[in-house]
């Protein structure tokens, strides 16, 4: 049964952009409203996913700021934050607002303006998603967290440098087909494996996602109203979220995010589907190892088989389960608060058959997987194209 | 009809406290769970209202942090932010989570640790709730915003220095009866009117709310389950939120917050009650003028009559419509993210008849009014004691 339906989507290009935060948001929201064929006056609620406007742009209370700029005076506007999963949490709250009967049509926006700070500043801001006292002050930032996961995955399952590289090469290839991706740069296995710019061993520069600006938006409505709008109807049939241990040292294992497994299980159950029913997925590849773990946590591959599957091409656009057709966080870009919504936007394009050169064949059911911090916040959403009568 | 029911509440003392953020949250949440007679394992969702953890304590992703610390692994935990209304937005999302059928029991926490920064730093962080480029950089911070409102209210309605002072004196008096209030200090009309410490004319030091640390918590459940718990049942019968103009210069008037009026109207309609059905209210008195405006926006008094009503004692504990029996933001304290939840906690104590020396007589229906920024985010909630069969 549909929880809510998506009737409009929009997104800025992701990248190092000259636009201000409010310009990015306005562009994405306007495109989504236009895509739905409605005006701001038909919106009854607004959610904004944003991680760190305070630090990145020196502006807080951003939902009200955005509502005011978009002409949504009178409409409830709420910012939600869950680190890199902020966008997906915004989608979830919109679903709740609709399913509870409070709202008929809700605008969801995810946005982050990151490139206003130098890279060292961005790393510091991102690190606030982990435990400041017990992790950051001990020198651990996110590249280190995921390097630990990669080392452990290699030790436990025999995952190799080439497995990680295959994820990077594939996502760069996919991004070449996505006009809105941050990077359009083909890379080779040799370049990735031989890259001398080590970030945190074994992760080098090509294993890391990007620092991007960007905004994405979706218009959701009550399922029974979806037929009133012009686009092919996409229903959200599963939405789950779980919290994990906040600190990586407290996690029972480093090769899986337990909360992602919980969220996946709940979302599958809610949607009444199995992993092998999923046509494709947008997953949280903040680092290459994270995509491998995601494909295992989601049940697409058994633990330890994610790396070999990537190397064998199973997760490519033409593979058995295409992963990150958009290019992912790795090459499409990762404007933190926007990412979860951007994943949803890609799923909508794919399920509508509007994904152009990167179209997944026979895309029927799409999944998004979005995590915050070291797996402290994990979400899974499942979308399905509604069959025409 | 009840949207959700409150089965447990808890709160720290508000004030300049030695406790860390996580200690404050743990204390409030533990008290609320104990008050409800349930353990963390019965909680199916958690919302945290927090305004500026990034700036105040250098820690973001706080909902996951708190969930992990409270033993809520597996449970969805989401931070919501709407400036000084963050706590009320958290309550609203919890209502949605319950009413949508996603959760049966939800823990709502509001918390802020502010006194880690010097006052100038706090002012800077709070100012991020208004427009940085167009207001803050022009020198306008919140005392200035509310001073403009006071000047205009005086000009338009003849509101006087004594009217403002009456609010401060009353709220200090009420706080004397609240063991958890930040300030326990009786003040006189003469002291307030003659105070030489001008902040932004006509507002002096006694017209301003406090910089406080604190956390408050509530456990909400589906209305049909409320009878299973030990406390007298309090139902939430109205919940409304509206966005106003983000910048004070864009507001159509300075003597009222249009979004507060919209939220009040919707909440009354949802609850099926009128202003004169309300037994008492906790309102957003960040400055004395704000309480006067609130009592007018909520329909307790006509525009311009809020000041005279306060001076006449109508808003005292023994008056016709007691306002801020807790002492309000002015004297109970204003740990920003906690405030909205703390208002709710006070309403619950009052409706249960557990408010001790500050008990409002015949308290049957209570209201909370919580605003963020210059009225960019406004919320109204209405609570009612369930009649026993």
- CA pseudo-torsion sign A129, A131, A136, A137: positive
Mean pLDDT of A164-178: 98
pLDDT of residue A252: 87
pTM listed for this prediction? 0.98
Q: Out of B60, B67, B259, whose CB is closest to A74?
A: B259
Q: Which residues of B fall within a CB distance of 8 Å from A102?
A: 96, 99
How far, in Å, CA of A238 to CA of B320, rounded? Answer: 50
- Cβ pair A376:B64 closer than 8 A: yes
For every residue of A65-117, DSSP letters joined together read HHHHHTT-TTS-EEEEEBTBTHHHHHHHHHHHHHHTTS-SEEEEEEEE--TTS
Contact of A8 with A231, CB cutoff 8 Å: yes
- Cβ pair A128:B68 closer than 8 A: no
Mean pLDDT of B348-360: 98
Neighbour tally for B80: CB within 10 Å:
30
Distance of CA A33 to the CA centre of its chain: 21
Catalytic residue among B153, B182, B284, B334: B334
Q: Which residues of A fall within a CB distance of 8 Å from B116?
A: none
Mean confidence (pLDDT) of chain B: 97
Classify A7 as helix, strand or coil.
Answer: strand
Based on the residue annotation, tell me whether B84 is a catalytic residue of this protein: yes
Mean pLDDT of A353-368: 98
- Cβ pair B74:A262 closer than 8 A: yes
Outline where chain B has alpha helix (H). Answer: 21-36, 53-57, 62-69, 86-99, 119-127, 142-157, 161-175, 189-194, 258-271, 288-297, 306-311, 328-331, 336-352
Q: Out of A51, A52, A100, whose CB is closest to B96?
A: A100
- Cβ pair A78:B83 closer than 8 A: no
Mean confidence (pLDDT) of chain A: 97
Gap from B76 CA to chain A (nearest CA, Å): 4
Q: Which positions ≥6 away from A387 have C-beta within 8 Å?
A: none
Beta-bridge partner residues of B214: B112
Based on the residue annotation, tell me whether B124 is a catalytic residue of this protein: no
Helix (H) or strand (E) holding B3: none
Read off φ and ψ for residue A228, nearest 5 degrees: -80, -10
Neighbour tally for A376: CB within 10 Å:
32
Mean pLDDT of A350-369: 98
- Cβ pair A102:B101 closer than 8 A: no
Of the candidates A307, A310, A289, A294, the one whose C-alpha atom is nearest the C-alpha of residue A147 is A289
A77 → chain B, closest CA residue: B243
- Cβ pair A93:B81 closer than 8 A: no
pLDDT tens profile B84-132: 999 999 999 999 999 999 999 999 999 999 999 999 899 999 999 999 9
Gap from A22 CA to chain B (nearest CA, Å): 11
B63 → chain A, closest CA residue: A82
pLDDT of residue B252: 87
How far, in Å, CA of B128 to CA of B131, rounded? Answer: 7
pLDDT tens profile A320-333: 999 999 999 999 99
- Cβ pair A78:B82 closer than 8 A: yes
Domain B126-209+236-384 fold: Peroxisomal Thiolase; Chain A, domain 1 (3.40.47)
Mean pLDDT of B256-271: 98
pLDDT tens profile B19-74: 999 999 999 999 999 999 999 999 999 999 999 999 999 999 999 999 999 999 99
pLDDT of residue B24: 98
How far, in Å, CA of A220 to CA of B130, rounded? Answer: 28
- Cβ pair B96:A97 closer than 8 A: yes
Number of CB pairs, chain A paired with chain B, less than 8 A apart: 202
Gap from A187 CA to chain B (nearest CA, Å): 34
pLDDT band at residue B278 using 50, 70 and 90 as cut-offs: very high
Each domain of chain B, given as residue ranges in start order, spans 4-117+211-228, 126-209+236-384
Q: Which positions ≥6 away from A332 have C-beta within 8 Å?
A: A14, A171, A175, A178, A180, A181, A182, A183, A324, A326, A342, A346
pLDDT of residue B389: 57
A84 → chain B, closest CA residue: B61
pLDDT band at residue B193 using 50, 70 and 90 as cut-offs: very high
Q: Does B126-209+236-384 match B4-117+211-228 at the fold level?
A: yes
pLDDT of residue A365: 98
Q: Which residues of A fall within a CB distance of 8 Å from B64?
A: 82-83, 243-244, 246, 372-373, 376-377
Catalytic residue among B84, B103, B221, B378: B84
pLDDT of residue A80: 98
Q: Out of B51, B73, B377, whose CB is closest to A243?
A: B73
pLDDT of residue B1: 79
How far, in Å, CA of B208 to CA of B66, rounded? Answer: 30
pLDDT tens profile A89-100: 999 999 999 999
Catalytic residue among A153, A172, A334, A381: A334
Domain A138-206+237-385 fold: Peroxisomal Thiolase; Chain A, domain 1 (3.40.47)
pLDDT tens profile A46-93: 999 999 999 999 999 999 999 999 999 999 999 999 999 999 999 999
Classify A23 as helix, strand or coil.
Answer: helix
Mutation target among A96, A137, A340 for the B interface, most CBs of B within 10 A: A96
Domain A4-117+211-228 fold: Peroxisomal Thiolase; Chain A, domain 1 (3.40.47)
Q: Out of B51, B55, B65, whose CB is closest to A131?
A: B65
pLDDT tens profile A233-289: 999 999 999 999 999 999 988 999 999 999 999 999 999 999 999 999 999 999 999
Query: Is ipTM > 0.85 here?
Result: yes
How far, in Å, CA of A64 to CA of A87, rounded? Answer: 17
Pairing of strands B77-81, B280-282: unpaired
| pLDDT at position A299 over 90 | yes
| pLDDT at position A389 over 70 | no
Gap from B170 CA to chain A (nearest CA, Å): 30
How far, in Å, CA of B33 to CA of B54, rounded? Answer: 27
**Counts of helices then strands in chain B (DSSP H, E):** 13, 11
């Amino acid at each position: 049964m549909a929880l809510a339906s998506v009737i409009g989507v929009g997104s800025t290009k992701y990248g190092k952009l000259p636009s201000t935060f409010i310009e990015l948001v306005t562009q994405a929201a306007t495109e989504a409203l236009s895509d739905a064929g409605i005006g701001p006056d038909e919106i009854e609620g607004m959610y904004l996913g944003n991680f760190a406007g305070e630090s990145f742009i020196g502006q807080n209370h951003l939902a009200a700021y955005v509502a005011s700029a978009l002409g949504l005076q009178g409409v409830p506007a709420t910012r939600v934050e869950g680190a890199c999963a902020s966008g997906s949490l915004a989608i979830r709250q919109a679903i709740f607002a609709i399913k509870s009967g409070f709202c008929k049509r809700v605008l969801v926006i995810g946005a982050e303006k990151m490139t206003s700070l130098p890279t060292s500043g961005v790393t510091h801001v991102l690190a606030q998603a982990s435990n400041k006292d017990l992790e950051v002050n001990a020198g651990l930032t996110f590249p280190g967290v995921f390097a630990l996961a990669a080392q452990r995955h290699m030790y436990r399952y025999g995952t190799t440098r080439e497995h990680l590289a295959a994820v990077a090469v594939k996502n760069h290839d996919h991004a070449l087909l996505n006009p809105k991706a941050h990077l359009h740069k083909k890379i080779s296995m040799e370049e990735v494996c031989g890259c001398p710019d080590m970030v945190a061993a074994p992760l080098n520069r090509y294993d890391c996602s990007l620092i991007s600006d960007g905004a994405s938006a979706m218009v959701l409505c009550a399922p029974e109203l979806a037929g009133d709008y012009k686009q092919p109807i996409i229903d959200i049939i599963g939405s789950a979220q779980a919290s994990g241990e906040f600190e990586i040292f407290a996690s029972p294992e480093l090769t899986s995010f337990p909360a992602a497994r919980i969220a996946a299980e709940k979302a599958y159950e809610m949607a009444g589907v199995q992993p092998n029913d999923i046509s494709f997925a947008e997953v949280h590849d903040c680092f290459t190892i994270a995509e491998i773990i995601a494909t295992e946590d989601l049940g697409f591959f058994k633990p330890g088989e994610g790396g070999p599957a990537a190397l064998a091409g199973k997760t490519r656009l033409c593979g058995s389960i295409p992963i990150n057709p958009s290019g992912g966080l790795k090459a499409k870009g990762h404007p933190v608060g926007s990412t979860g919504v951007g994943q949803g936007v890609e799923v909508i394009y794919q399920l509508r058959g509007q994904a152009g050169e990167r179209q997944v064949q026979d895309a029927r059911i799409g999944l998004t997987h979005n995590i915050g911090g070291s797996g402290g916040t994990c979400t899974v959403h499942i979308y399905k194209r509604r069959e025409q009568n």
